[in-house]
Homo-oligomer: A and B are copies of this chain.
Amino acid sequence: MRPTVNDIARAAGVSLATVDRVLNARPGVTEKTVQRVNAAIDQLGYVRDVTAANLARQRRYRLTFVLPEAPELFVATLRDALAEAGRSSAADRTEIRTLSFPAGNPHALVRTLRTLNSANTDGVAIFAPETPHVRDAILRLKSDGVPIVALVSDLPNTERDHFVGIDNIAGGRTAAFLMGKFHGKRGGSVMVLVSSMQARDNVERRLGFDQVMAESFPEIEVLPSLENHDDEDITARVVSEVLDARPDLTGVYSVGHGSRALVEVLRAHHRARQLTIVAHELTSVTREALRSGDIDAVVSQDVGHIVRSALRILRAKIDGVGIVPGQERIRIEIVVRENLS
């Protein structure tokens, strides 16, 4: 039988209330008593039953997800995963609220963040680019005692409690490895399409991609980044231009979270099948393009895992308990036609 607070109380010769005070590091206990209780705790090997504690405490976890209002399908899949998680969240006493801000509008984002405080939320998960004002808003929330996790794109200068997403440099390296290996030993040139060089994840992916292309596949020329700012018209135009200008093109690397316009243009030009195409994020578009053979490989991250992980981590931070690191490591998934779930 596992020892309970009662066993500790008896062993230490104090009351339940005192044990509880020590357990929760609350003031009003003599140092000597604290010692005695702690001695009993590790002598009996006590581990507190978090579920019982939460029951007594009537704990609810009011968690807020802050997501961009963006056209990319990836964000939609993330929202779907969140909605799915919301369905079973009542069972874990979790209330999920989602706040949206227009992508690329840091002011709106900051305004949104300003509405949040420890009185109305117990934890925040945020998918947003890091700008100075955003950083300040997050620091304020943190100092208000609200745990924060960064989703998908890290916010390294905000003291966020955790980053839930893939290592994007390694993601770019993986994309390059696949590009090089699928490409074959002949020379060629690869177009790189990014959504924005402001987005940290995009920059990191491009960096990793360049590293491996240079190291391992020097015979392939990597063209300068084309920025599309997540605008499908821009994408259509710049991709068309390159396609016309470079009949020798052999590959395309789509760095950002959206690939719809790219796939459409490549198909219209009848170039998709001859090119080696590597994209990021599994969405209805990339899924279908993998199936048809238009895209060769997708480097992805499991949005369901990201959401569940964010929830677990926030709850753990709120409860002040540890996490299982292995369970929270978001893997860099490689998806090809044959392992398409």
Contact = CB atoms under 8 A, between A and B. Distances in A.
Interface string A184-225: 110000000000000000000000100010000000000000
27 contacts: A2-B90, A49-B91, A50-B91, A51-B55, A52-B55, A55-B55, A84-B326, A171-B339, A174-B336, A174-B338, A176-B338, A177-B337, A177-B339, A178-B336, A181-B182, A181-B336, A184-B184, A184-B185, A208-B338, A212-B338, A302-B331, A304-B327, A308-B327, A331-B333, A332-B339, A333-B334, A334-B336
A334 B331 contact: no
Interface string A292-307: 0000100100101000
Contact of A338 (B173, B324, B338): B173
Nearest to A308: B327
B331 A177 contact: no
A108 interface: no
A123 B57 CA distance: 31
Contacts of A51: 51, 54-55
A20 B22 CA distance: 36
Nearest to A173: B338
A19 to B, nearest CB: 18
A271 interface: no
A296 B182 CA distance: 12
B339 A170 contact: yes
A90 B47 contact: yes
Nearest to A166: B339
A336 B338 CA distance: 16
Q: A-B pairs with the 10 shortest C-beta distances?
A: A334-B334, A332-B339, A173-B338, A51-B51, A174-B339, A174-B338, A177-B338, A304-B326, A184-B184, A181-B182
Nearest to A176: B338
